[in-house]
Structure 1
Amino acid sequence: MTPTLRQCLLAELLGTAFLLIFGTGAVVVDEQTHAIGHGGVAAAFGLIVLIIIQSLGHVSGAHVNPAVTIGFWAAGRFPGRRVLPYVLAQLAGGLLGSGTVWLVATPGSSLGATLPAHSVAQAFGVELGLTFWLMLIILRVTSSYYEQGLLVGLTISATVGLEALVGGPLSGASMNPVRSLAPALVCGNLTAAWVYVAAPVAGALLGVLANRLLDPAPSAGSEPTS
């Protein structure tokens, strides 16, 4: 039975909320206890992404990221009429997740918000590149030819964890406008927020373009199968 739009939106809201609770929550816990470390934070993001994909992917696709939703639409795999509802559900879920993290954070905490470590230009370039690679991986492993159940979730979550591990010290390795905007809005620090909206969306669109270039072109004499 095909999930209704309401069910899909609820899945996106819940999935994004838990992404923020356990992802940025790990950042906040490490700020307070120093018990997790940068590697542990990266692992937390990878693990929660795997859990979300395996538990909610069959309902909504487990986008939990406006850049991914826009990327799927640009790739022709997602209806345009659902883009805005998905993005709004993701934003609501992100705010719910960041609000939950705020309850356990110490006063003055950034709630795991992403900020450029050096220049804004460097952060933009890092986020562009990370999201490009993430979107390309997602499109490749979710194609009908390559998709193999659990391996899809493992590959995507491993990509998120690896990129968080390597890119985190430079830009925060957001790759997700809501992951950055939600804690920024809740804590009131919107420094360079535009970078974490524009760069992931641009990177996702570049990933769509690269995926098209990688797909084999149909032979001249081939007939349509449908």
Structure 2
Amino acid sequence: MDHEDVPSAPSTPATPGTPGAPLFGGFRGDHRGTNGRKSLLKSCKCFSVEEWAIEDGRLPSVSCSLPPPPVSLARKVGAEFVGTLILIFAGTATAIVNQKTQGSETLIGLAGSTGLAVMVVILSTGHISGAHLNPAVTIAFAALKHFPWKHVPVYIGAQIMASLCAAFALKGIFHPIMGGGVTVPSAGYGEAFALEFIISFNLMFVVTAVATDTRAVS
């Protein structure tokens, strides 16, 4: 019984989800079936073609991914600005309200408010700008070659401007009660610096591990 080239289902690309990767390759004329006809599917990078027996009659499931659409730098910077503005405003406003109401928010409420703000910002702007929200995160991504260095100054500028806008907005709303949003070390400067360094290191370690390792994300 003669065998003909029967197309199998598309297989997952070697690097699924890679931005800019072509979905289909160009057609090449050097692949021919047993009957002398050109096999177009063999030249497609998205497909893996094998010779199936006629009595086997079953094909595997189809799996093929499309590259994400490109996002302009202006949209990325705008999303980063809005995300940082929301985070700084929400986190600091909770601390000010807690001081104004004599501790009614409690420490759990302060942590929960900031955590929810981070979650909302990541879910709403993470697919656009990456939701760095912190110059340390931007620099860490760039150092690990997951973010272009030429965009670092623009991102940091957007984060600083958003922080200033949030601070002035809070001052206009809650003036003169502003002490709740200010971080004042209760110990020496050396101890405060060491503690801040350790906490920031742990934060950068977790963020970069989760955001850059596809196994962690899945």
TM norm structure 2: 0.65
Partner of 1:28: 96
Partner of 1:12: 80
Superposed displacement of residue 107, structure 1: 1.2
Q: Classify the secondary structure of the residue corresponding to 1:116.
A: coil
How is 1:1-226 mapped onto 2 (pairs within 5 angstroms)?
1-33=69-101, 34-107=103-176, 109-110=178-179, 112-142=181-211, 143-148=213-218
Superposed displacement of residue 53, structure 1: 0.6
How far apart in 2 are the matches of 1:114 and 1:6? 32
Gaps of 5+ in 2: 1-68
Superposed displacement of residue 7, structure 1: 0.5
Gaps of 5+ in 1: 149-226
CA contact (8 A) 1:105 1:111 kept: no
Change (3 A) 1:41 1:15: same
Superposed displacement of residue 10, structure 1: 0.6
Higher helix share: 1
Percent identical: 33
CA contact (8 A) 2:209 2:216 kept: yes
How far apart in 2 are the matches of 1:117 and 1:56? 35
Q: Classify the secondary structure of the residue corresponding to 1:145.
A: helix
Instruction: Read off the aligned partner of 2:139 and give its amino acid letter.
Output: I
Partner of 1:173: none
Partner of 2:21: none
Partner of 2:36: none
- Cα root mean square deviation, aligned: 1.2
Instruction: Read off the aligned partner of 2:76 and give its amino acid letter.
Output: C
Q: Classify the secondary structure of the residue corresponding to 2:83.
A: helix
Instruction: Read off the aligned partner of 1:3 and give its amino acid letter.
Output: V
Per-residue Cα deviation, 1:48-83 (whole angstroms, up to 9, x for no partner): 011111110000000010011011111111100000
Change (3 A) 1:15 1:111: farther
Superposed displacement of residue 110, structure 1: 3.2
Structure with more contact order per residue of length (Cα contacts < 8 Å, sep ≥ 6): 1
How far apart in 1 are the matches of 2:123 and 2:74? 19
CA contact (8 A) 2:97 2:180 kept: no
How far apart in 2 are the matches of 1:99 and 1:124? 26
How far apart in 2 are the matches of 1:81 and 1:98? 27
CA contact (8 A) 1:12 1:63 kept: yes
Larger Rg: 2
